[in-house]
């Protein structure tokens, strides 16, 4: 699998790093997982800009990914974030124990 064309600064930063495509989430964006980062590529919209702004605002308040790089080119948003340790809330183990998940998230 190849990455789609990236902004030059992002291409330099990610060149040669192994990755996998994330198929777990419900996002319509293309998500690529690197060892220490997550790249989200989506059509540029108010939603993609709001996501970046929310992550930056929440930083230091709750555990959220750090915005490492952001650019919009030709109608596409490229958001590179740090990768958080842990298990996603949508993990099969949590889906089979919704009461436990609710306690963990509240």
Give CA–CA dist 40/22, Å, rounded: 10
Q: pTM here? A: 0.85
- pLDDT of the chain along its 106 residues, tens only? 788 999 999 999 999 999 999 887 777 899 999 999 999 999 999 999 999 999 999 999 988 999 999 999 999 999 999 999 888 888 888 999 999 999 988 8
**Beta-carbon contacts of residue 4 (< 8 Å; ≥ 6 apart):** 30, 41
User: Helices in 1-106 by DSSP H: which ranges?
Assistant: 8-14, 46-58, 92-95, 98-105
Domains in the chain (CATH in brackets) are: 8-105 (3.30.200.20)
pLDDT score recorded for residue 82: 97
Residue whose C-alpha is closest to residue 25's, from 91, 93, 97, 95: 91
């Amino acid at each position: 699998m190849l990455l789609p064309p990236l902004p030059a600064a992002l291409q330099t930063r990610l060149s040669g790093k192994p990755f996998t495509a994330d198929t777990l989430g419900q996002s319509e964006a293309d998500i690529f997982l690197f060892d220490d980062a997550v790249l989200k590529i989506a059509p540029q919209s108010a939603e993609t800009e709001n996501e970046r702004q929310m992550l930056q605002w929440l930083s230091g308040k709750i555990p959220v990914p750090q915005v490492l790089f952001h650019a919009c080119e030709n109608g596409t948003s490229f958001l590179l974030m740090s990768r958080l340790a842990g298990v996603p809330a949508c993990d099969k183990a949590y889906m089979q124990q919704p009461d436990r998940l609710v306690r963990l998230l509240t």
